[in-house]
Amino acid sequence: MNHCLNLKRRVCLGVFLIILGVVPGCSKPGTKPDAGSARSPYTIVTTVGMVGDITSQVVGERGSVAHLIGEGVDPHLYKPTVSDVKAILAADIVVYSGLMLEGKMGDTLVKVARSGKPVYAVTESIDPAYLLSPPEMHGHSDPHVWMDVQGWMKGVDFLGRTMGEVDSAHAAFYRSNADAYMEELRKLDEYARTVIKTIPESRRVLITAHDAFNYFGRAYGLEVLGIQGISTESEAGLEDINRLVDTIVQRGIRAIFNESSVSEKNVRALVEGARSRGAEISIAGPLYSDAMGKAGTYEGTYIGMIDHNVTLITRALGGQAPEKGLQGKLSGVAHETGE
C-alpha cells in the first residue's frame, strides 16, 4: 500500500513538473508584480528558513512569507512534494538560497523561473571571489554562506535592492528595513568575533557532522573539520572516521558537535573510536547548520540560530560566553550531552 501511495505521489509530482517545463501557460503562475505596484501583501514562497527569515525582515507587512523546508530537514536531500509545487505556482515571488543548496528542488525552481515567475537566489549577487570552492565541489561553490554573518548580510542587501525593483513605489521602505536589519546583524557578527576569541588557541578546532561550517571558520578563526562532506549526499568512510580519531587523540580535542538536520550516526561512531583510544570527549549540540530551530522560538530565527551556534561552540571549546547568548534569549538547548 505504501509503495502504491509513494508511486502515486511521484506520478503527480511528475505531471506538475511536465506542466511547468512544457506548457508554462497552463501552470497558472502568480501574477508577476509590476514595477511601482501598490498591491500588497505579496505572497512570497522561500525554501529554507534562513532565506525565509531575512526575506520577512526586508518585506515587512508588504509581503506574506512562507518557507517550504522546515526545522530539522536537510535541504541537500529534500525532494519537493506536490503541495510544494502548488505553493510555488501560487506565489507571486519565489526566493531561494542557491549555490546548489536546495539539491533536487533546484530543477523545479529552474522550470518555474522559465515560466516567467520572479525567482531569485539570495546568493546570486555575491562576488565569486568571496565564495569558497573546495575541490570536492568540482567547480561549484560551498552554499553555506549564512554561516558567515557578513556573507549573509550580502543576501539581505540583495533583497533590499531586488524588492525595490519589484515594487519601486516602496523601494525606500525595503531599503530602510534591510539597513535596520543589517545593523542588528553587525552586532551579531561582533558578538561572534568577541566571544570566539576567548577560546584558547589550541582548542579552536570545530568538528561537526558535515562540512557546513567552513564560512563560519574563515570568518571567526576556527579550524573546521567535517565528518561528511559539504553535501550530506556524501558518505563518511572508515578512513575518514579513523583520520578524525587520530586528530582528536593527538590534539586533545574535548568536544565534537552534532547537527539538528544530520543523523548522529557518524558523530557517535567518532566518539566511540576516540574513547576506545583513551580520549575524554563529549558530544555538544545540536548546532543549527542547514536548518534553523523550531518555528516560533528565538532559535527559529536567523539571528537566534547563529547566536545559539556561537554561544554553544564557545562554551564547549573552553571559551567565555553568556549562557543565554547575545540577547539573553537562548532557550538553554545549547549544552554538552556528555554522551
The closest of 103, 84, 100 to 46, measured between CA atoms, is 84
Domains in the chain, start-ordered, CATH in brackets?
40-190 (3.40.50.1980), 197-316 (3.40.50.1980)
Q: Report in angstroms the alpha-carbon separations of 126 from 151, 152, 157, 310, 322.
A: 8, 10, 10, 24, 33
Residue with cell 529554507: 48
Report the pLDDT averaged over residues 44-55.
97
**Beta carbons within 10 angstroms of residue 190's beta carbon:** 12
291-326: per-residue pLDDT in tens? 999 999 999 999 999 999 999 999 999 999 999 999
Look up residue 269 and give its three cell numbers: 561512531
Q: How confident is the model at residue 72 (pLDDT cuts 50, 70, 90)?
A: confident
pLDDT of amino acid 78 = 87
The lowest-confidence range among 95-109, 133-147, 231-245 is 231-245
pLDDT of amino acid 34 = 57
Buried-exposed string 37-55: b where 16+ CB fall within 10 A, e elsewhere: beeeebbbbbbbbbbbbbb
Query: Could you give the CA distance from residue 237 to residue 246 in angstroms, rounded to a whole number?
Result: 15
Distance of alpha carbon 164 from its chain centroid, rounded? 24
The residue among 134 and 59 whose pLDDT is bigger is 59
pLDDT of amino acid 28 = 35
Report the pLDDT averaged over residues 157-172.
96
Residue 281: strand, helix, or coil = coil
